A and B are shown apart, each in its own frame.
Chain A
Amino acid sequence: MKDNRTAALTKEMFKKLSFRPPAETIAGESVPVWRDVLRRLASNKLAMAGVVFLALLAVMAIIGPLISPHDYFTNNLDRTNEPPSGDYWFGTDNLGRDLFSRIWMGARISLIVGLAAAFIDLVIGVIYGGIMGYVGGRTDEAMNKASEILYSIPYLLVVILLLVVMEPSMWTIILALSVTGWINMSWIVRGQILQLKNQEYVLAARSMGASGARMLFKHLIPNTLGPIIVTLTLTVPSAIFSEAFLSFLGLGVQSPAASWGTMINDSLASWTLYPWQMLFPAALISLTMLAFNVFGDGLRDAFDPKLKK
């Protein structure tokens, strides 16, 4: 049988043809995950509006106090409580200080507090959560219990206690916010790593003798990036809120430094007469938190389109 068949095959049958069958085409361009995420994010108009607003805010926080003809701390008692005008663009407060400069100084503080708190949460949370998830067993149990106990203590009480003991300032607020802020992040990282730990590529890396730290930082943590970034974006507005809240209560940033919280508090006494003193900081803090929230929601949808409803 076999011989018969081979005999039927002549040399001519194996001549090269000029015709080449079309290669299989891929319907869409193959893209890395992050580009996919960015594309989905860019198509979310609300989230992009948030990004644009935040970019503008950042620019104004940097150049705002510089382009105003007045600085943010000089009292000008001849010109107190002035409405917005060509000279004082957002008006003046009860000490005659330029509200335009103060607003953008407040933006600086809000952004620094938000970003610094998020960054500290990120570092501590990722390390702590990474160790919990990766090492597992008794270590995980003990560390988890410890973080649970710390978490059960209401954060505002911790923050206020620390602020009573330390000098109130922006840095104290950042420190106080970080004392309990990282816990949520560490739990998210832990959960993600527990899920990833049993995946094949992790087993492969381990069988090739990768060290613990390499496994953690090279393989596990990069794959948990989505939830980490989303959590971070949503940490920022809550840190901004906490700073304004504490400053509003008089526990945070102290005069002459300007925080949106203190500005709103200062305006409370007289804002029936001078409403702009409250409207500008109130509008800006609300818009900033709104922008971070819609951006964070957009990111979450972009990372996990299944969640979108």
Chain B
Amino acid sequence: MVRYWTGKVVSVIVSLFILATATFFLMKAIPGDPFTAEKAVPPEIKAKLMAFYGLDKPVWQQYLIYLKKLLHLDLGMSMKSQYQTVTGIIADSFGFSFRLGIFAIVVSVVVGVGLGILAAMYHRKLIDSVSMVIAVLGVSVPNFVLASLMQYVFGVKMGLFNVAGLNEPLDYVLPVIALSALPIAYIARLTRSTMLEVLSAEYIKTAKAKGLRKRVIIFKHALRNGILPVVTYLGPMTANIVTGSVIVEQIFGIPGLGQYFVGSVSNRDYTLIMGITLFYAVILMAARLLTDIAYGLVDPRIGLRSRKGVS
């Protein structure tokens, strides 16, 4: 067990290290420096700027300094937004993205599992078809299309919601729907197919024969097994929602991390790009680790197997 988890943690650290290194050298590979584009900086000032950002040292030294700073969670100064540290920008903007993301995750799981259970319970009936149509549409309609359409129909035409911003509770509705459409679709399909399998298992027949109520059978007996694949999907789902947030924040004008990420890319703000990339990577890997832990909790067989050394 201990070996299993140390293995996991070590591979996360190795991945982060590789990503940090790759980001660093990719940024170095870009021709020119961040100050070439600005208009006629006098050479003395430019030299000072280069010295300030440590760009006058040899690359290997810059790399070591960069790694050392990373260990202290110091991501440096933004190169375009003056007087702002990358850590500060992330701290200011992440709150919006975090709240959106958590809502989207909760909505995805609740609605997705609910649709899946309904579809399995009423297999080959109307509800089944309807929820599978929703699932196929959710996979097929790109989130930026969905977000723009909803913004137009519900925001502009019907005036039900604010078109942009994230100030009132109602403002969360459209972005959360746009973010969770795809995960809902996946989760509904996953839940439906495992529930169908589980519902035809012997122990469910036993439960029925005992005369248990349908509700008890579904939620107490079947769901416990039916939910397993959904738990494995939590990691990829977080990745989906994080990437989705990049575009949804853009469309709804939410000053979250995704907005800054796109901005940093188009501004060529290298320190900010590197910082946000690493931050995203940490979140996603943490989500993956949590998924593994959750899986072990929901399905005790997993832990047992790894204890036997099969990992």
Interface residues of A, Cβ cutoff 8 Å to B: 145, 148-149, 152-154, 156-157, 160-165, 237, 241, 244-245, 248-251, 261, 264, 268, 271-272, 275, 278, 282, 285-287, 289-290, 293-294, 309
Contacts and interface: CB of A to CB of B under 8 A. Distances in A.
Given A161-B273, A309-B196, A289 B142 contact: yes
Given A152-B285, A248-B247, A278-B152, 11 more contacts: A153-B19, A153-B281, A154-B284, A157-B280, A161-B23, A161-B273, A161-B277, A249-B250, A249-B265, A271-B148, A286-B141
Given A154-B280, A157-B19, A164-B268, A282 B145 contact: yes
A285 B145 contact: yes
Contacts of A261: 144
Contact of B137 (A156, A245, A249, A290): A290
B2 interface: no
Given A244-B142, A264-B145, A153 B15 contact: yes
A282 B149 contact: yes
Contacts of A309: 123, 192-193, 196
B29 interface: yes
A164 B30 contact: yes
A268 to B, nearest CB: 6
A160 B272 CA distance: 13
7 contacts: A154-B243, A160-B261, A249-B246, A264-B148, A278-B148, A289-B140, A309-B123
Contacts of A268: 148, 251
Given A164-B273, A248-B247, A149 B265 contact: no
Interface of B: 11-12, 14-15, 18-19, 22-23, 26-27, 29-30, 123, 136-137, 139-142, 144-145, 148-149, 152, 156, 192-193, 196, 239, 242-243, 246-247, 250-251, 261-262, 265-266, 268, 273, 277, 280-281, 284-285, 288
Contact of A152 (B12, B22, B23, B243): B12
A113 to B, nearest CB: 14
B265 A251 contact: yes
Contacts of A272: 152, 156
Q: SS class of chain A's interface: helix, strand, loop or mixed?
A: helix
Contacts, number: 105
A161 B145 contact: no
Contacts of B247: 245, 248-249
B144 A164 contact: no
B26 A164 contact: yes
Contacts of A251: 265
Nearest to B197: A309
B116 to A, nearest CB: 12
A145 B136 contact: no
B281 A154 contact: yes
A238 to B, nearest CB: 10
B97 to A, nearest CB: 14
Nearest to B157: A272
B156 A149 contact: no
